[in-house]
Amino acid sequence: MKFIWKYLSEYKKEAILAPMFKMLEAFFELLVPLFVARIIDIGIPGKDLSYVLHTTIYLVIFAAAGYGVALLAQYFSAKAAIFSAASLRKDLFFHIQKFSDAKLDLVGSSSLLTRLTSDVNQVQNGVNMFLRLFLRSPFIVFGAAVCAFTVDVKGALVFAVALPLLILVVWLVMKSTLPRYKSIGKRLERLTLSVNENLTGVRVIRAFGNEHIQRRNFRKATDQLCNEQLCAGGIQSVLGPITLGVVNLSAVVILWIGGIRVNIGELSTGEVVALLNYMSQILVELLKLANLIILLTKALASSERIEKIMNIDPDERTKGEITDIKEILDKKEVPAVAAENLRFTYPDGNEETLSDISFTLEQGGVLGIIGGTGSGKSTIAKLIGHSYDITGGSVKLFGKEVSDFSDHAIAGSVALVPQHAQLFKGTIADNLRMSNEDATDDELWEALEAAQAADFVRQKPDGLNSKVERGGSNFSGGQRQRLTIARALVKKAPVVILDDSASALDMATEKALREALKNLSWKPALIIISQRASSVMAADNILVLEGGETVGYGPGDELLHSCPVYSEIYHTQFEEVAS
Amino acid sequence: MKRLLKLLRPFTIHLIFSVILALGYVVCTLLLPVWSGKAVDTIVGKGNVDFDSLKQIAGFMIILIGGAMVCQWGMNLLNNKVCYGLVKTLRQQAFSKLTKIPISDIDSHSHGDYVSRIISDSDTIADGLLLGFSTIFTGVVTIIGTIIMMIRMNFIIALIVIVLTPVSIFMARAISKNTYKYFMTQSKDRADITEFISEMTEQGELVRSLDISEKVKEDFEEKNKTLTGSSLKATFISSLTNPSSRAVNSLIYIAVIVAGAYAVITGKMSVGELSAFLGYTREYSRPFNDITGVLTELSGAFACAERVFELIDMEDEPDGELTFDGKFEGNIKFEDVFFSYKKDQKLIENLDLDVNAGQKIAIVGPTGAGKTTMINLVMRFYDVTGGAIKIDGIDVKELKRHELRDKIGMVLQETWLFSGTIRENLLISNPGISEEEMINAAKAAHAHSFIKKLPKGYDTLLEEDGGALSQGQKQLLCIARLMIALPPMLILDEATSSIDTRTEMKIQDAFSTMMKGRTTFIVAHRLRTIMNADIILYMEGGRVLESGTHSQLLKKGGKYAALYRSQFL
C-alpha cells in the first residue's frame, strides 16, 4: 500500500488534482438537493413559477460545471495511474535486471512475467479507480451527511449512526476477502501450469495412458477453485443487501423523526425531502463503492505480490570494484584462470557441489574439463563468470579474485558459451553484435568462420540480416550452437569457455571448430567442457571430475595411465574403432 | 448463446429462484419510494402530521426493506453458484477434450492459445455472466417497473423522462465506438512489451553473461513509453462515458423538477409524489448506465465462450475397437506405409518393414529423416495416410488406443516431468508399485544416487519441467519411469542423449536386461548404443536407404558405414 504511494507521489500534481476535481464534481452534485428543497419550500407553496425557473438555472449551471470538472478529473486520474504504473513497471523490470542467477532461479521467469504484466495492470486499474472514486464516494457520503446536519442537526444524527456502521461492514468484508482473492490467484496459476504441462507432456501422458489421472487432478483443482470463489463471493454478496438495509432503514427513521419535528414546527416538509434525498445519494454512492472494493481488493493483492519481488535483495554476491581491466589483462606472467582449493555449495543446496578443485590455465592455453552428468563441470564455468560467490578457496582471473571484478569487467574478460544455445529475436547480425556493438561486418564473418557457421549463414538469402525467431527456434540445434559460439567470439575476450556447447555438432565439424579456436587472432585462453574425450584430449591439461571432486588433472596421455575414470571414458568412446 | 443456455440446464432451479428473487427485489425497491412519498405526504406542516398513517407506512416500509435485503442476498448467492459452477464445468469439459484431441492438433497449434481458452477466457465468461445476471435482469425489470410507476403518477412527466433517457445511451455508444480503436492500439503495444519481457526474463542469465542489460533497459523504456501513450488515450477516452451520461441524466432530473413543480403548483401532483418521482428518475436512469456497461462486458464473454466451445467441439482422436485379448507377442509389420505431416510435403512413402517379437530395431539417419515420425506412427500419435501398421496381425487403427499404448513404453529425447514430487513423477505409469520396486528401478536407471542427495529424496518437489535438475538427470528419471512401467514393447528415442557416456555405459546393462524379450525401437545419434541391434535402418528423407545388422552394413560400405566412420575418427 505504502509502496504504491511512493509511485503515485511522483505524479503528485495529477494525483492531487484528480480527486480535487472529483470532489468539486461531487460538491456540485451535493448542492442539487438544497436547491430542490428551496423549490419545494418556497417556489411551490408560493405558486411562484418564475422562482422555480430561476432556481433551475442554477441547477443547469451546476450540472455543466460538474461535467467540466469531471472530464478534467478523469484525465488527471488516468494520467496519474498510467504514468505511475509505467514507472512501477520500469522499476520492477530494472530491479529484475539486477537479479543474480540464483535469484532468477528462485523466483522463476513465469511468475516474473505475471508480476510485470497482469499484476502491474491490475494495480494501474486500481489506482485509476481509486483516484476517481475512493475520494469522491466518501466525499459525497460525508458531504451528504454534513449537508444533512446543516439542514437539521437532530434529524441528521441518523447519519452519524448509519455511516460508521456501513464503514465497519465494508472494512470487514474487505478484510475477510483479501486473503481469499490471493489464494484464488494462486490456484489459477496452478491451473495454468497444469494445462501447460498437459500440452508439453502430451506424448508421455498418452503413452502411459495417464489421461484419466490428469483429468481427475484437474477436476479436483477446479472444484477447489470454485469452492474458494463461492466462499469469497458469498462474503462479498452480503455487502449489497446490508448497505441497502442500513440506508433504507435510516430513511424510515428520518421520516419518523422528521414527522415529529415537523409536527412541533422545527422542520419543514421540504427539509425532510432534502434529508431523504441525501440518504438516497449516499445509497447510490455506496453501491458504487461496494463494486469498487472488489477491484481494489484485487489490485491490493497484486501490489503485494509486486512488492514481494521488489523486496528481494537482487544480488547477494560480493560487489567487485575493478572496472578497468586493461592494465590487468596486460600482465603477461600471471595465468589467465586459476583455481585453488575451490569449494562451492549452491545457495539452496545442502551438499557441496565442488570440493577442493585446483587448476591453472595459462594465457593462450587450453584447459579441458570432463566428467559425468552432475559432476560439477558447468558449475566451474559459472563460478569463473562469477554467477555465484564461491564458498571456499579461490578462483582468479589474471591474478585477481573474480569477486573483485565488477560484472561488467568480468563480461569483458570472459566469453561463456552456455550449454543451452539461445538466440534473441532479431537478425543474425543483431545477435552477434550483442556483446560488441561496434563490431564490423568483417569481424562478424571472422567469428562465424571460426564457429563453423559461415557456410549456412552465407546460404541464407539475407545473410547476416536473416531473421531470428525468439529463442532461435527457426534454426536447428547445431546451427544455434554455432551461432552462440560465434556471438561469444565477436567479443574477443581473453578467456573463452565452451560449456558443452558443441554437443549437437558432428565429429568432423567439431574438429574443425577446435582447430579454428586454436588459431584465433587474439589467442584467448580456452576452456572446453565436454562429455566427449575427443573434444578435450588435445588440451594442455584436462581436469577430470566425478561427483564434484577432482579425480584426475594433467595432460591427456598421462591421464590415460594415471586416471582410471578418464581412461574408462576414453575407451568407451574409442574402443569400438579399434575392434 | 444457445450452447451456454444448454450448459445452464443443470442450474434451472437456481435460475428460476434467482429470477423470482430478482422480481421480489425489484418490486420491493420500487415500492419503497412510493411509500416514502406517501410518508412525506402525512407530514404536511406544524401540528399537521398524521402519526397513525406514518406508523403504518413505516411498518410497511420495514417489511419491504427486509424483503429487498433477503431477495438481493439470495439472488447474489444463486448467481455466484450458477456462474462459478458453469465456468467450472466449461473448464473441465475443455480440459477433458484437451486430453482427447489428436496430437497433431496440439503440435500444430499455439499452446498459449489453448491455455488462454481454458484459463482466462473462462474467467472472462464468469465475470461477464455474473455481472450480466445480476445487472441486466434486475435492470430491465427496474426500468419497466419505474416506467409503470411514473406513468401512473404523471403521464406527461413520465414521457419527458422516457424520451430523454436514450440520449445518454447514444452518447455512451458514440464514445465507446471511438474507444475501440484506441483499445486496439493499446492491446498491440501491451502484447509487444509482454513478448519482450517474457523473452528477457527467460533469458536472464544470458543477458547478464552477455552484459547487455543496459541495452535491454533502453529497449524496455522505449516500449514502456509507447504503451504509456496508448494506454493514456484509451483509458481517458473510455472514461468519458460515465460523466457524460451522468451529465445527461442531471439534465433530465432538472427537467423533471421543473415539470414536477409546475404540476404541483397546478395541483396535479402532491409534494410527496414529486419526491417519489425524483427518486424514480434516479432509479430509472441508473440501470441504463449499468446495462450499457454490462453489454460490452457480455459481448466479450460471448466471444470468449465461443472460443471455449470451439475447443470443446474439436474432434477426438479416432479410436478402434479391438484388443489383443490378453495375448501380446510384439510382431510389427509396416505394409506399404505412406505418411506426411503436410499434404504438399511428402515424407514417408512405400515403407515396408517386418519386425519379429523381441527384436531390437535401431533407426539412424540425419535430422529430418523421419526417425521420430516412425515412432509417432507406431504409437499412433499420428495416423498413416496410406498402407497399414500391424501389431500381431492387427491394424493399429482398429486397436483401442489404450490397449496399444499400454503395451508400449517410451523415453523421448525431450524429457518431460511435471511439477510434483519425484515419486509422483516416477509412478505416473504404475501407481500401484511398492516402494522397494520403485527404488530398485531408480537404482537400475542410476537415478537413485542423485535422488538420495536431494533435500527430500523421493519426496523432493520438482518445479515446472524438472526445475533445477540437469538435462541428464531428467533423462535418468524418465528412464526410471520406464523401468517401473515395464511394458512389453519399448521405444527409446534418443533416450540417453544428455547422459554422459560413462553413466550411459552403466545404464546399458539395465537396458539390455529390460530389452530381453521385448520388441524395441531405438533412435540414436551415438552409434555405439545400437551396434548390437537386430536390424539397423538407415533413413534419409523418409526412406529407408539401408537395412541390416551392424556388420552387414559396415561391409556394404554405404551411408551407414560413412556415418560410423565419422563418429569414431
Interface confidence, given as ipTM, is: 0.79
H or E element that contains B52: helix B51-98
Averaged pLDDT in 10-residue chunks for chain A of 579 residues: 82 89 86 83 83 89 92 92 93 89 76 81 86 79 83 81 84 84 83 83 82 88 92 87 88 88 84 82 75 78 87 84 80 89 82 88 93 82 90 92 89 86 88 87 93 90 87 78 92 91 78 90 92 86 90 91 86 57
Q: Answer yes or no: pTM beyond 0.80.
A: no
Tell me the DSSP string of A340-351: EEEEE--TT-SS
Interchain contact, A66 vs B247, CB within 8 Å? yes
Distance from the B236 Cα atom to the nearest Cα atom in chain A, whole angstroms: 6
- Of A277, A310, A343, the position where a domain reaches its end is A310
Q: In terms of Cα–Cα distance, which of A412, A361, A373, A314 is closest to A569?
A: A373
Q: Give per-residue pLDDT as tens, B339-378.
A: 988 776 678 888 888 899 889 999 987 766 778 888 889 8
**Same domain, residue pair A375 and A501:** yes
DSSP state of B489: E
Residue of A94, A197, A255 lying closest to B36 (CB–CB): A255
Distance from the B515 Cα atom to the nearest Cα atom in chain A, whole angstroms: 18
B130 to B127, B137, B403: CA distances (angstroms): 5, 11, 44
Interchain contact, B96 vs A203, CB within 8 Å? no
Lowest mean pLDDT, pick from A416-420, B162-166, B402-406, B543-547: B162-166
Would the pLDDT of B569 be above 60? no
SS3 B445: coil
Q: Which three cell numbers stand for residue B473?
A: 538427470
Q: Quote the crossing angle between the two packed helices B271-312 and B122-132, to the nearest 10°.
A: 160
**Same domain, residue pair A302 and A405:** no
CA–CA gap between residue B376 and residue B364 (Å, rounded): 16
Interchain contact, A263 vs B208, CB within 8 Å? no
Burial (Cβ within 10 Å: 0-12, 13-18, ≥19) of residue B440: middle
Chain A's closest residue to B99, CA to CA, is A211
Instruction: Name the H helices within A397-525.
Output: 407-413, 428-432, 441-450, 454-459, 477-490, 507-518
Distance from the B254 Cα atom to the nearest Cα atom in chain A, whole angstroms: 7
Q: Residue A198: its chain B contacts at CB < 8 A? A: 95, 98-99
Phi-psi region of B270 (alpha: psi -120 to 50; beta: other; left: phi over 0): beta
**In 3-state terms, chain B is what percent helix, strand and coil (to 5)?**
65, 10, 20
Mutate to test the interface with B, among A34, A67, A93, A509 (most CBs of B within 10 A): A93
Q: Is residue A484 part of a domain?
A: no
Residue of A199, A269, A412 lying closest to B106 (CB–CB): A199
Interchain contact, B464 vs A195, CB within 8 Å? no
Radius of gyration of chain A (CA): 36
Q: Please, which residues bridge with residue B399 across strands?
A: B322
CA–CA gap between residue A560 and residue A567 (Å, rounded): 5
Q: How many domains does chain A have?
A: 2
Chain B's closest residue to A294, CA to CA, is B127
Q: Residue B199: its chain A contacts at CB < 8 A? A: 424-425, 470-471
Q: What residues does each domain of chain B span?
A: 332-568
Q: Please, which residues bridge with residue A340 across strands?
A: A394
Q: In this predicted structure, what is the pLDDT of residue A578? A: 42
CA–CA gap between residue A367 and residue A335 (Å, rounded): 12
Chain A's closest residue to B426, CA to CA, is A208
Other beta carbons less than 10 A from residue B367's beta carbon: 11
Interchain contact, B49 vs A424, CB within 8 Å? no
Residue of B419, B455, B500 lying closest to A372 (CB–CB): B500
Q: In this predicted structure, what is the pLDDT of residue B367? A: 63
The residue type of A339 is A
B117 to A227, A506, B301, B541: CA distances (angstroms): 21, 42, 12, 37
Q: Quote the crossing angle between the two packed helices A269-310 and A239-263, to the nearest 10°.
A: 150
Distance from the B72 Cα atom to the nearest Cα atom in chain A, whole angstroms: 6
Mutate to test the interface with B, among A35, A195, A256, A271 (most CBs of B within 10 A): A195
Rounded to the nearest angstrom, the gap between the alpha carbon of residue B35 and the centroid of all alpha carbons in its chain is 51
Q: Please, which residues bridge with residue A368 across strands?
A: A528, A542
In total, the C-beta contacts within 8 angstroms joining chain A to chain B are: 406
β-strand B519-523 against B489-493: which pairing, if any? Answer: parallel
Tell me the DSSP string of A100-168: -HHHHHHH-HHHHHHIIIIIHHHHHHHHHHIIIIITHHHHHHHHHHHHHHHH-HHHHHHHHHHHHHHHH
Rounded to the nearest angstrom, the gap between the alpha carbon of residue A521 and the centroid of all alpha carbons in its chain is 42
B92 to A215, A398, B551: CA distances (angstroms): 8, 61, 54
Q: Is residue A431 part of a domain?
A: no
Q: In this predicted structure, what is the pLDDT of residue B39? A: 86
Interchain contact, B428 vs A208, CB within 8 Å? yes
Mutate to test the interface with B, among A84, A124, A140, A204 (most CBs of B within 10 A): A204
Q: How many C-alpha atoms does A387 have within 13 Å on its Cβ side?
A: 26
Distance from the B336 Cα atom to the nearest Cα atom in chain A, whole angstroms: 25
Lowest mean pLDDT, pick from B56-65, B287-296, B425-434: B287-296
- Of A264, A280, A310, the position where a domain reaches its end is A310
**Same domain, residue pair A392 and A532:** yes
Q: In terms of Cα–Cα distance, which of B274, B565, B430 is closest to A52?
A: B274
The residue type of A497 is I
Q: In this predicted structure, what is the pLDDT of residue A460? A: 86
Beta carbons of A40 and B271 less than 8 angstroms apart? yes
CA–CA gap between residue B290 and residue B293 (Å, rounded): 5
The residue length of chain A stands at: 579
CATH number for the domain that contains residue A38: 1.20.1560.10
Q: Residue B559: its chain A contacts at CB < 8 A? A: none
Mutate to test the interface with A, among B95, B106, B124 (most CBs of A within 10 A): B95
Q: Residue A385: its chain B contacts at CB < 8 A? A: 209
Q: Is residue A113 part of a domain?
A: yes
Handedness of CA B12, B15, B20, B21 (dihedral sign): positive
Other beta carbons less than 10 A from residue A323's beta carbon: 11
CATH number for the domain that contains residue A508: 3.40.50.300
- Of A260, A282, A310, the position where a domain reaches its end is A310
The pLDDT mean for chain B works out to: 84
Q: In terms of Cα–Cα distance, which of A108, A148, A393, A465 is closest to A280?
A: A148
B371 to A224, B225, B366, B515: CA distances (angstroms): 43, 49, 9, 20
Return phi, psi of residue A22, to 5°.
-60, -40
Beta carbons of A141 and A207 less than 8 angstroms apart? no
DSSP state of B322: B
Give pairs for B443-449: CB < 8 Å, separation 24+.
B444/B480, B444/B483, B444/B507, B444/B510, B444/B513, B445/B476, B445/B477, B445/B479, B445/B480, B445/B483, B445/B507, B445/B510, B446/B476, B446/B503, B446/B506, B446/B507, B446/B510, B447/B473, B447/B476, B447/B477, B447/B479, B447/B480
CA–CA gap between residue B86 and residue A226 (Å, rounded): 10
Interchain contact, B275 vs A276, CB within 8 Å? yes
**Same domain, residue pair A50 and A93:** yes
CA–CA gap between residue B308 and residue B497 (Å, rounded): 39
Q: In this predicted structure, what is the pLDDT of residue B567? A: 64
Q: Is residue A156 part of a domain?
A: yes
Q: Would you identify the CATH topology of the domain B332-568? A: Rossmann fold (3.40.50)
The residue type of B179 is T
Residue of B211, B401, B418 lying closest to A408 (CB–CB): B211
Interchain contact, A374 vs B450, CB within 8 Å? yes
Q: Residue B290: its chain A contacts at CB < 8 A? A: none
Interchain contact, B381 vs A104, CB within 8 Å? no
CA–CA gap between residue A367 and residue A386 (Å, rounded): 18
Beta carbons of A136 and A25 less than 8 angstroms apart? yes
**Same domain, residue pair A269 and A357:** no
**Same domain, residue pair A227 and A303:** yes
**In 3-state terms, chain A is what percent helix, strand and coil (to 5)?**
65, 10, 20
Lowest mean pLDDT, pick from A446-455, B497-506, B556-565: B497-506
**Same domain, residue pair A250 and A347:** no
Would the pLDDT of B556 be above 90? no
**Same domain, residue pair A303 and A331:** no
**Same domain, residue pair A334 and A379:** yes
**Same domain, residue pair A201 and A254:** yes
Residue of B224, B243, B282 lying closest to A70 (CB–CB): B243
Q: Is residue A25 part of a domain?
A: yes
Interchain contact, A116 vs B201, CB within 8 Å? yes
Beta carbons of B283 and B30 less than 8 angstroms apart? yes
Domain range for A386 is: 326-420+494-578
Interchain contact, B202 vs A109, CB within 8 Å? yes
Q: Determine the straight-line distance between the first and last CA of chain B, rounded to whole angstroms.
A: 68
**Same domain, residue pair A228 and A270:** yes
Tell me the DSSP string of A309-360: HHTS-S--SPPP-B---HHHHH-SSS-SEEEEEEEE--TT-SS-SEEEEEEE
Interchain contact, A241 vs B264, CB within 8 Å? no
Q: Reduce the secondary structure of B334-354 to three states and give it as a string.
A: EEEEEECCECCECCEEEEEEE
Phi-psi region of A530 (alpha: psi -120 to 50; beta: other; left: phi over 0): beta
Other beta carbons less than 10 A from residue A39's beta carbon: 24
**How many helical (H) and strand (E) elements, i.e. helices and strands, does chain B have?**
21, 14
DSSP state of A384: H
Q: In this predicted structure, what is the pLDDT of residue B120? A: 75
Beta carbons of A17 and A72 less than 8 angstroms apart? yes
Q: Residue B503: its chain A contacts at CB < 8 A? A: 372-373
Q: Give per-residue pLDDT as tens, B324-343.
A: 877 888 899 999 999 988 77
H or E element that contains A397: strand A392-397
Interchain contact, B428 vs A210, CB within 8 Å? yes
β-strand A366-371 against A392-397: which pairing, if any? Answer: unpaired
CA–CA gap between residue A442 and residue A464 (Å, rounded): 11
Beta carbons of B408 and A206 less than 8 angstroms apart? no
Q: Residue A501: its chain B contacts at CB < 8 A? A: none
**How many helical (H) and strand (E) elements, i.e. helices and strands, does chain A have?**
23, 12
Chain A's closest residue to B38, CA to CA, is A255
**Same domain, residue pair A300 and A350:** no
Distance from the A340 Cα atom to the nearest Cα atom in chain B, whole angstroms: 23
Q: Is residue A316 part of a domain?
A: no
Q: Residue B95: its chain A contacts at CB < 8 A? A: 195, 198, 215, 218, 222
Q: Is residue A476 part of a domain?
A: no
Distance from the B459 Cα atom to the nearest Cα atom in chain A, whole angstroms: 16
Mutate to test the interface with B, among A99, A206, A569 (most CBs of B within 10 A): A206
Q: Give per-residue pLDDT as tens, B239-276.
A: 887 788 888 888 888 888 888 888 888 888 888 888 88
Other beta carbons less than 10 A from residue A13's beta carbon: 10
Interchain contact, A373 vs B472, CB within 8 Å? yes
Q: Is residue A481 part of a domain?
A: no
